[in-house]
C-alpha cells in the first residue's frame, strides 16, 4: 500500500511538471536602425569675460615685486600676500613668467 502511494505521488509530480511547460514568448520586435545620421547639435559660443580684477591685481603686484628684486617663488608669493592678504599659486607665477618671457 505504501509503495502504491509513493508511485501515485511520483506520477502526480511527473504529470504536474508535464502540464506546466513554460510558454514560448513571442519574439520582441526591435526597431529598425535609422539610415540617416542624427543632425549635429549646434554648440553655443559664449563671449569670454575679461580677466578678473584679482588676476590683474596679482599680475601688477608680481611686476612690482620683480622690480624690487624678489626672484624666488616664496618671495613673490609672500609679497602678494603682504599686499593683498591672500597668496597666489605657483602656477599663477609660472603663467606670469611665461607671459612676460622671464627665464631665471
For the chain, the domains span 53-100
- pTM reported for the whole predicted model: 0.52
Question: Which residues are CB-contacts of 75 (< 8 A; sequence separation ≥ 6)?
Answer: 65
Q: What is the pLDDT of residues 47-91, one digit of tens each?
A: 666 667 899 999 999 999 999 999 999 999 999 999 999 999 999
Round to whole Å and give the CA distance between 13 and 7. 10
Q: What proportions of the chain, in percent to the nearest 5, are helix, strand and coil?
A: 55, 0, 45
Amino acid at each position: 500500500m505504501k509503495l502504491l502511494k509513493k508511485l501515485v505521488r511520483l506520477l502526480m509530480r511527473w504529470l504536474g511538471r508535464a502540464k506546466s511547460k513554460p510558454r514560448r514568448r513571442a519574439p520582441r520586435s526591435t526597431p529598425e536602425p535609422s539610415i540617416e545620421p542624427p543632425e549635429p547639435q549646434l554648440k553655443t559660443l559664449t563671449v569670454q569675460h575679461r580677466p578678473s580684477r584679482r588676476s590683474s591685481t596679482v599680475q601688477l603686484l608680481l611686476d612690482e615685486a620683480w622690480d624690487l628684486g624678489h626672484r624666488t617663488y616664496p618671495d613673490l608669493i609672500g609679497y602678494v600676500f603682504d599686499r593683498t592678504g591672500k597668496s597666489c599659486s605657483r602656477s599663477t607665477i609660472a603663467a606670469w613668467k611665461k607671459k612676460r618671457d622671464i627665464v631665471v
